[in-house]
Amino acid sequence: MWEINWGLVLLILAVASVGFLMLTSVAGGEVDPWASRQLMRFGVGLVVMLAIAMVDIKFWLRWAYVIYGLSLLALIGVEVMGEIGMGARRWIALGPFQFQPSEVMKLALVLALARYFHGLSYEDIGRLRWLLVPLALVAMPVMLVLRQPDLGTALMILIAAGLLFFAAGVRLWKFALVIVVILSTMPVAWEMLHGYQKQRVMTFLNPETDPLGSGYHILQSKIALGSGGVFGKGYAQGTQSQLSFLPEKHTDFIFTTFAEEFGLAGAIGLLGLYGFVLAYGFAIGMRARNQFGRLIAFGVTCLLFIYVFINIAMVTGLVPVVGVPLPLVSYGGTSMMTLLAGFGLVLCVWVHRDAIVPRRPGRLVD
């Protein structure tokens, strides 16, 4: 148990504490309804994270494809019996609980790709035919997520997968080829977008055209960010959030609420906490002696980075508004549990950093 990297655990606790603080603030100083539920979820997630950390890393290698397969079946299940919310079919109800399979798939894909690339030599990774399987592993969930429709999550999966391909040693010219293909299909992709998705892009380019409609979210977010100044208005004193001008103040726009109350200094401090978590994750990956562990640590850490980057870029108007929460801070169950399980895997990599993991499960030597 003492092999666990407690520095990383404390940093995760610090980030989550900011979330509890802000969820209490946006509820007018009350722990209900959001902070109390978030605290219970975090407690369960923390236990899961520590339990995952103590499991032999060879277990995750052996079951990586099974976990991916079950996650893919859950995504297919969304098509059949998924719950519709805000115009999209993304959740599966299990009694009183709901979970979003696309969030679980992000972690399952990291495991599956890490196992696949772990079994290849450096020369094999350089050959195009060996990339067909991982490309299929990425394409299947992306197509299912796009059908929900959830363009933001699909893009996150693609970006995370691309970073993992890069970490595995895929040549840069192959990335350039993919980028050229994507750019050449942009006109077709634009025509395939739903009407509300096109509206989000147009609002991103010029939110002032509809300040009380599609541009309302981002304009109120910018007002809140600017009104916070350098040191903020004080805890629970943010006018945009407390007077309910700021929409989704406890989920997607919680960073704006935080910046209004604690200002630029507080925002930089929170980004600093995330920066330390990212540094720990990458350092653990570099310390691992096996490719499987390195890719898991790199993949999970990249997922955290993508979450943080897209959420903050979204609320500051740098990218179109999409439904991406601020990790461990925004109110939500599935994303928090998935990330905590992911960092359980990162801690597992640290605990078993010196383990020699065979390229093929079941073999003692390779």
Q: How far apart are the first and last CA of the chain?
A: 29
Domain for residue 358, yes or no?
no
* pTM for the whole structure: 0.90
Alpha-carbon dihedral 176, 179, 180, 181, rounded to 10 degrees: 120
Residue type, 341: A
pLDDT of residue 196: 67
Q: Which residues contact 269 (CB under 8 A, 6 or more apart)?
A: 262
Residue 360 lies in a domain: no
Distance, in Å, from the CA atom of 163 to the CA atom of 158, rounded to the nearest integer, reads 9
What local confidence, expressed as pLDDT, does residue 366 receive? Answer: 44
Assess if residue 357 is contained within a domain: no
Is 14 contained in some domain? Answer: yes
**227 within domain boundaries:** yes
In the prediction, which pLDDT does 57 show?
A: 94
Question: 6: part of which helix (H) or strand (E)?
Answer: helix 6-26
**Which two structure tokens, joined as six digits, stand for 150?**
């959830």
**What is the reported pLDDT for 274?**
97
CA gyration radius for the chain?
A: 21
Structure confidence at residue 310 (pLDDT): 93
- Predicted local confidence at residue 106, as pLDDT: 93
161 with 113: CB under 8 angstroms? yes
Range(s) of the domain holding residue 312: 6-351
pLDDT of residue 365: 40
Q: What is the mean pLDDT of each run of 10 residues along the chain (366 residues)?
A: 84 95 88 88 94 94 95 87 62 71 92 93 78 92 86 88 91 81 76 71 71 77 88 88 80 92 95 96 94 95 95 89 88 88 96 82 48
Residue 364's pLDDT is 41
Counting the structural domains of the chain, the total is: 1
Cα four-point dihedral sign 325, 330, 331, 335: positive
Tokens 């960073």: give the residue: 255
Strands ordered across the beta sheet of 97-99: 83-85, 88-94, 97-99
User: Considering the domain boundaries, does residue 1 fall inside one?
Assistant: no
240 is written with which tokens? Answer: 């945009």
In a 13 Å sphere around the CA of 43, the CA atoms on its Cβ side amount to 6
**Nearby residues of 2 by Cβ (< 8 Å), 6 or more positions away:** none
Residue 212 lies in a domain: yes
The whole-number pLDDT of residue 224 equals: 87
Q: Is residue 366 part of a domain?
A: no
